[in-house]
A and B are shown apart, each in its own frame.
Chain A
Amino acid sequence: MIRTDAHLDPELFGTEVERKPTRDGFGHGVVEAGKTDKNIVVLCADLKESTRAEWFEKEFPERYVEVGVAEQNLATLAAGFAAAGKIPFIASYACFSPGRNYEQIRTTIALNNRSVKVMGMHAGVSVGPDGATHQMLEDIALMRALPRMTVIVPADAEEARKAVVAAAQIPGPVYIRFSRAATPVFTTTKTPFSVGTALTLWESTKPEVALIAAGALVHEALLAARLLDAEGIGTVVMNLHTVKPLDEEALVRAAKHIGRVVTIEEHQAAGGVGSAVAECLARRFPVPMRFVAVHDRFGESGEPAELIAHFGLDAEAIVRAARELSEL
């Protein structure tokens, strides 16, 4: 059952549910944050339309800085802006930022402890036709390995908006991961969001498997939960939007009470959300796990939905993983 305290859109399983890319949440969130804090600036590496940075530029042209196709410069300039007391949000595709400029983020932002917000757009295979070069699948691993970095993977555009507003308030560096494809906006303004706190969205009467997901695939996890319920396999669906700091207590509680865990993410299995969960549970309460993720492969061109299915990331794949676990 959907948890009523999650205040999700009642249409979330219907065709009427609104669909928007999570990157829209960056555009809305950064304008909202910019209205209350004049120190917020946005730097963009020649991708202002697709990253939605131009929504901020339209509102605050004097606080928008164009960097050109230069992601190393994007990160290092931002470190300088932060040194002057600004709160820079840097926007590009995740392949390039934090992909290309990893060392600059490591040294001049994380080690240097500057309050720069790295906005990684177009993550995951759901980027679609652009193909593997532009489908970032390793960014969570890169960012969560960095000391001081907060890592957030919002589940829809509304949660992304909240994450951006929250990031502006966090004193240190933050990474937020966004996707390109329009996906269901199933959370609402009333859905609780607090950085570092996982949120349970679905809870069957007798849960046997915990589905722990991050990003737009949280919606696929909810679809899977409904399918599994019809099969008589109870689940809990947890939205683990904050990958770092990890909500360890919520994970341990789920492991103790439910005993089986499937993690779900549009990222390599190596180093991603599943790894983070496994690192925690291996230490505190080991339980059988399955990892719905991309397994040591690059993406390819195609439509978002067919790629999500092809790489085994859709509701069907989640159902299979949960079924396999429930039979143990």
Chain B
Amino acid sequence: MALTDEEVKNLECRAQDIRATIITMLVAAGSGHTAGPLGMADIFAAFYFHILNHDPKNPEWEERDRLILSNGHITPVRYAAMAHVGYFPVEECLTLRKFGSRLQGHPERERLPGVETTSGPLGSGLSQAAGLAYAFRMDSRRERVYCFMSDGEQDAGNTWEGAMFAGKNKLHNLTAIIDRNNIQINGMTEDVMPLESLRAKYEAFNWHVLEINGHDIPAVVAAVEEAKSVYEKPTVIIAHTIPGKGVPEIEFDYHWHGKPPSKEEAARFLKGIRTCGGRVAGEYS
């Protein structure tokens, strides 16, 4: 069912809340990744506040959908989304990367309920998601499995081993989302190791392929709905995103892949997020 205008607006606001929390937590941490988490804020808002069948108060609920985050380095966006949807207090986000925190620099399943896999080393999420999906199908379980990946980790052989397995076994209960933001640590993906045509590659591996604007929340929701209706194949949604989205001065800049903002930068970024780029007056203006 299509989203109402009000629902869309609400989800967009949630995404902005998530972005603000990402910036706040990265500044407090003093290290971490900025561009990827900001770029995925809309998709995480859509999933945690609309798409996922889950219960923040009961993270181990057996019938929950599974969201596997393969590129664990963007975990600030997952933590922020989880906090805003009620898994834990938003204030806890300030413990990111600190000694004793449940919010490890890269996510650890056993430390934070609701994190489905320990991840960070790239290329191993899709296979874990495929194993889950295969096992669920063996037992006629209806939970869906979602796997979020970066485009950079499409360089990894393990990713394609998982893609081949999922395609062979027609794992229709598995939906992958690739954050196609065109950057990785060493530069633009097409310079570091060309990926195109990603669509043709996944089609050749027997996947149903969709391409969307990853900041268009109704398009995200519609693509996931379409994936649920495809019974012969797994679906991959190539979500075109802007790294650093929401902070115009860092958008598209791969130098922001792996560093946090300074205090001054963060104040400026937050003001931009909270005032709609200066168009709205408020506490930050």
| Contact residues in B for A81 (Cβ distance below 8 Å) | 131-132, 134-135
Chain B residue at minimal CB-CB distance from A80: B131
Q: Do A72 and B124 contact each other (CB < 8 Å), given the known contacts A77-B134, A77-B165? A: yes
In the complex, A67 has a CB within 8 A of chain B: yes
In the complex, A315 has a CB within 8 A of chain B: no
| Contact residues in A for B144 (Cβ distance below 8 Å) | none
User: Contact at A76–B135, with CB atoms within 8 Å?
Assistant: no
Question: Of B109, B110, B131, B164, which one neighbours A76 at CB under 8 angstroms?
Answer: B131
User: Contact at A112–B117, with CB atoms within 8 Å?
Assistant: yes
Chain A residue at minimal CB-CB distance from B161: A73
User: Contact at A107–B116, with CB atoms within 8 Å?
Assistant: no
In the complex, B108 has a CB within 8 A of chain A: yes
Query: How far is it, in angstroms, between the C-alpha of A88 and the C-alpha of B116 when the chains are bound?
Result: 18
In the complex, A84 has a CB within 8 A of chain B: yes
Query: How far is it, in angstroms, between the C-alpha of A60 and the C-alpha of B133 when the chains are bound?
Result: 20
Interface residues of B in 61-105 (CB under 8 A from A): 66
| Contact residues in B for A65 (Cβ distance below 8 Å) | 134
In the complex, A83 has a CB within 8 A of chain B: yes
Question: Of A62, A63, A80, A112, which one neighbours B127 at CB under 8 angstroms?
Answer: A80
User: Contact at A112–B138, with CB atoms within 8 Å?
Assistant: no
Instruction: Give chain A's interface residues, CB within 8 Å of chain B.
Output: 41, 62-63, 65, 67-68, 70, 72-73, 76-86, 88, 103-104, 107-108, 111-113
In the complex, B118 has a CB within 8 A of chain A: yes
User: Contact at B131–A79, with CB atoms within 8 Å?
Assistant: yes
Contact with A along B105-120 (1 / 0, CB 8 A): 0001110000011111
Can you offer 27 A-B residue contacts whose CB atoms are under 8 A? A63-B138, A67-B165, A68-B165, A70-B164, A72-B124, A72-B161, A73-B162, A76-B124, A76-B127, A77-B128, A77-B131, A77-B162, A77-B165, A79-B128, A80-B130, A81-B132, A81-B135, A83-B116, A83-B135, A84-B135, A107-B120, A107-B124, A111-B108, A112-B110, A112-B117, A112-B118, A113-B110
User: Contact at B165–A80, with CB atoms within 8 Å?
Assistant: no
| Contact residues in A for B135 (Cβ distance below 8 Å) | 41, 80-81, 83-86
Chain A residue at minimal CB-CB distance from B70: A76
Query: How far is it, in angstroms, between the C-alpha of A88 and the C-alpha of B127 when the chains are bound?
Result: 14
| Contact residues in A for B121 (Cβ distance below 8 Å) | 103-104, 107
Chain B residue at minimal CB-CB distance from A107: B121
Given A84-B139, A88-B131, A107-B121, 17 further pairs, Cβ under 8 A: A63-B138, A70-B164, A72-B157, A73-B165, A76-B131, A77-B127, A77-B134, A79-B128, A80-B132, A83-B135, A84-B131, A84-B136, A107-B118, A107-B120, A111-B108, A111-B118, A112-B109
User: Contact at A77–B164, with CB atoms within 8 Å?
Assistant: no
| Contact residues in B for A83 (Cβ distance below 8 Å) | 66, 116-117, 128, 131-132, 135
User: Contact at B128–A76, with CB atoms within 8 Å?
Assistant: yes
Query: How far is it, in angstroms, between the C-alpha of A62 and the C-alpha of B138 when the chains are bound?
Result: 8
User: Contact at A108–B108, with CB atoms within 8 Å?
Assistant: no
Query: How far is it, in angstroms, between the C-alpha of A67 and the C-alpha of B131 when the chains are bound?
Result: 11
User: Contact at A104–B134, with CB atoms within 8 Å?
Assistant: no
Instruction: Give chain B's interface residues, CB within 8 Å of chain A.
Output: 66, 108-110, 116-121, 123-124, 127-136, 138-139, 141, 157-158, 161-162, 164-165
Chain B interface main SS type: helix
User: Contact at A79–B165, with CB atoms within 8 Å?
Assistant: no
Q: Do A72 and B128 contact each other (CB < 8 Å), given the known contacts A112-B109, A112-B117? A: no
Chain A residue at minimal CB-CB distance from B157: A72
User: Contact at B162–A108, with CB atoms within 8 Å?
Assistant: no
Chain A residue at minimal CB-CB distance from B163: A73
Smallest CB separation, A76 vs chain B (Å): 3
Query: How far is it, in angstroms, between the C-alpha of A41 and the C-alpha of B138 when the chains are bound?
Result: 11
Q: Do A73 and B127 contact each other (CB < 8 Å), given the known contacts A62-B138, A111-B118? A: yes
Query: How far is it, in angstroms, between the C-alpha of A33 and the C-alpha of B215 when the chains are bound?
Result: 49
| Contact residues in B for A76 (Cβ distance below 8 Å) | 124, 127-128, 131, 158, 162
Smallest CB separation, A42 vs chain B (Å): 13
| Contact residues in B for A103 (Cβ distance below 8 Å) | 121
User: Contact at B158–A72, with CB atoms within 8 Å?
Assistant: yes
Query: How far is it, in angstroms, between the C-alpha of A86 and the C-alpha of B139 when the chains are bound?
Result: 10
Chain A residue at minimal CB-CB distance from B109: A112
User: Contact at A77–B116, with CB atoms within 8 Å?
Assistant: no
Smallest CB separation, B120 vs chain A (Å): 7
Smallest CB separation, B137 vs chain A (Å): 10
Kindly name the residue among A67, A73, A85, A108 whose own CB sees the greatest number of chain B CB atoms within 10 A: A73
| Contact residues in A for B117 (Cβ distance below 8 Å) | 79, 83, 108, 112
Chain B residue at minimal CB-CB distance from A69: B161
